[in-house]
């Protein structure tokens, strides 16, 4: 048998869920505004870069060739509530190096001096490159993916050192539009989860109120019609309904004269 205390707890839980649902909508609106602002600034700076470009070079996606590879990817994580979270990933970071295997002494003895020398050079070059390009620690999350681990992969270098300053600003604007996109799609997934939870909890509250004999829907109060023929009036710009208003005024004046 359900109790009033259980009903109050469910209603409080429903209220908290609705508040969280509205907070998600606020985050969604803020992310959309941030995305719109970043894209607007990016296209404006790109147009300015094309206007100031030397030799009538037009910057855009047509400048990319087969050398262009994706610099950032998307990481997808689904939790136990089936809510999907999206994050940016830096694809220029080198893969993690595993534990080196123990060398075979017989294979080492078969190598000649030239092979050993070339292998040492390769190892030293890769070690120097790893020390210069890869930091010791790297923060996680979409904000961390804004800064590439390997700056040499930046396609902005293709245009030389005399490129317009607005081109670099446009790239920064477009790159900073990526975290809001991840935030948008993640928030939408969370909103869908809250909608399902609210519908399920509302159904439970209805059944519990019905079991306790509580009115499910408050009775509507009928408002009296204060002005006769109010539904015939119109506020449209084409003066529809003005004839009815004038007719009512003439009737009132005739009644006053007759009285």
pLDDT tens-place string over residues 49-105: 989 887 777 887 777 767 777 888 889 999 888 888 999 888 876 655 554 444 454
The b/e string for 216-253 (b: 16+ C-beta within 10 A; e otherwise) is eeeeeeeeeeeeeeeeeeeeeeeeeeeeeeeeeeeeee
Q: What is residue 145's predicted lDDT score, i.e. its pLDDT?
A: 61
Of all residues in the chain, the percent with pLDDT exceeding 70 is 59
Rounded Cα gap, residues 180 and 166, in angstroms: 22
Q: What is residue 146's predicted lDDT score, i.e. its pLDDT?
A: 66
Is residue 47 predicted with pLDDT exceeding 50?
Answer: yes
Rounded Cα gap, residues 44 and 48, in angstroms: 6
- Domain extent listing, the chain: 4-96+119-198, 229-259
Rounded Cα gap, residues 155 and 143, in angstroms: 20
Q: What is residue 199's predicted lDDT score, i.e. its pLDDT?
A: 93
- DSSP helix/strand/coil, 101: coil
């Amino acid at each position: 048998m359900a109790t009033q205390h259980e009903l109050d707890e469910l209603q409080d839980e429903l209220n908290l869920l609705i508040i969280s649902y509205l907070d998600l909508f606020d985050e969604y609106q803020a992310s959309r505004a941030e995305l719109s602002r970043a894209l607007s600034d990016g296209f404006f700076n790109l147009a300015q870069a094309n206007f100031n470009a030397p030799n009538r070079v037009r910057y855009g996606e047509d400048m990319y060739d087969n050398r262009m590879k994706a610099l950032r990817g998307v990481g997808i994580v689904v939790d136990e509530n089936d809510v999907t979270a999206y994050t940016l990933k830096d694809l220029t970071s080198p893969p993690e190096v595993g534990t080196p295997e123990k060398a075979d002494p017989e294979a080492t003895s078969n190598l000649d001096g030239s092979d050993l020398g070339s292998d040492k050079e390769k190892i030293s070059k890769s070690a120097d490159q790893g020390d210069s390009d890869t930091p010791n620690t790297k923060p996680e999350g979409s904000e961390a993916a804004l800064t590439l681990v390997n700056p040499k992969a930046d396609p902005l270098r293709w245009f030389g050192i005399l490129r317009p300053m607005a081109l670099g600003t446009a790239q920064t604007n477009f790159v900073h539009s990526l975290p809001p996109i991840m935030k948008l799609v993640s928030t939408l997934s969370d909103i869908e989860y809250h909608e399902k939870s609210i519908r399920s909890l509302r159904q439970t509250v209805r059944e519990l109120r019905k079991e306790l004999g509580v009115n499910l829907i408050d009775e509507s109060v009928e408002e009296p019609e204060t002005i006769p023929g109010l539904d015939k009036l119109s506020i449209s710009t084409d003066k529809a309904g003005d004839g009815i208003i004038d007719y009512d005024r003439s009737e009132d004046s005739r009644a006053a004269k007759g009285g």
